[in-house]
Amino acid sequence: MVKKQATVFLVDDDPVVRKALPRGLQKRGFEVEAFDSAQSFLEAYTPERPGCLVLDLSMPEMDGLELQRELITRGITIPIIFITGHGGVPESVQAMRAGAIDFLEKPFLPDVLAMRVEEAFSKDVQTRHEFKSLADIRERFERLTDREKEVCQLLLDSEANLSSKEIARALDISHRTVEQHRSRVLEKTQAKSTSDLLSLATRIGLTTARSN
C-alpha cells in the first residue's frame, strides 16, 4: 500500500502546526516527518524517499515558493501541497503553475488534507515509475556498440526511412552487416519496429517525433 511506503514531509515554522497536523495525519495512517524551516528540510531530505511535501507558504529566510523553486532547480519532483493562513491569488496561481497539487487555506478540514495527500502519493508513484521507465530505455540505448549507434542514428534521423541498402552505402559497409546491426539495435532497445524505435528515442530526447 502506498500510504505505508511513503512519508508526508511537513515544513512549517509554526510549532503548533508541527504538533497538531502530524497528529491528525498519523491518526489516518500516514507517516509524518516535520521540519521547522525549508533549510532543515533540504538538509535532511533525499529524493529516493517516496512521499509528498506539505509546505507552509509564509516562512522566514526561505518561504514556500522559494523552496518550491529550489526543488525544481535541483530536479526534485516531490509533489507539494501548500498550506497558508493568508495566501493570495497570485501566490496560489504561481504555486499551481509550478506543479503544486493544491493550495489549502488554514483552517482546513483534516479529511481534505488527507485526500490531497493520497493524491500526492499517487502522483509520486506515477512520476517515479515514469523516471524508472525512462532510465531503463536510456540504459538499453547505451548498450549499443558504436557501429550500432551509427545505424540507429540513421534510422532515427532519416525522413525518407532509409533502407538497409541505403544505410550500407552511407556507412560503406555491406547490406548484410547493416541487417545484422539493425536487428541488434531493435533487440537491444526492445523496439518492435523502426517506428517503435523512434517512439522510444523520442521519449528520452534522442530525437523529436516526425511530422506526417
pLDDT tens sequence across 40-85: 999 999 999 999 999 999 999 999 999 999 999 999 999 999 998 8
Query: Is 160 a residue whose pLDDT tops 90?
Result: no
Q: How confident is the model at residue 157 (pLDDT cuts 50, 70, 90)?
A: confident
Range 78-107 burial, b when 16+ CB lie within 10 A, else e: bbbbbbbeebeeebbebbeeeebbbbbeee
Could you give the maximum distance between any two Cα atoms of the chain, in Å?
A: 75
Instruction: Say if 2-134 and 143-203 have the same CATH topology.
Output: no
Q: How confident is the model at residue 170 (pLDDT cuts 50, 70, 90)?
A: confident
The confidence score (pLDDT) of residue 88 equals 67
For residue 33, the SS3 value is strand
The confidence score (pLDDT) of residue 45 equals 96
Which CATH entry fits the domain spanning 143-203: 1.20.58.740, 2.40.30.40, 1.10.10.10, 3.30.9.10? 1.10.10.10
pLDDT tens profile 181-193: 999 999 999 999 9
Least confident of 10-24, 135-149, 154-168: 154-168
The confidence score (pLDDT) of residue 94 equals 83
Q: DSSP assignment of 109-157, as one string?
A: -HHHHHHHHHHHHHHHHHHHHHHHHHHHHHHHHHTS-HHHHHHHHHHHH
Q: Of all residues in the chain, what percent carry a pLDDT higher than 90?
A: 70
Query: Is 15 a residue whose pLDDT tops 50?
Result: yes
Q: How confident is the model at residue 200 (pLDDT cuts 50, 70, 90)?
A: very high
Q: Of all residues in the chain, what percent carry a pLDDT higher than 70?
A: 92
**What are the sequence ranges of the domains in the chain?**
2-134, 143-203
The DSSP output letter for 104 is E
d(CA 3, CA 80): 16
How would CATH label the architecture of 2-134?
A: 3-Layer(aba) Sandwich (3.40)
The confidence score (pLDDT) of residue 203 equals 92
How high does pLDDT run on average in the chain?
A: 90
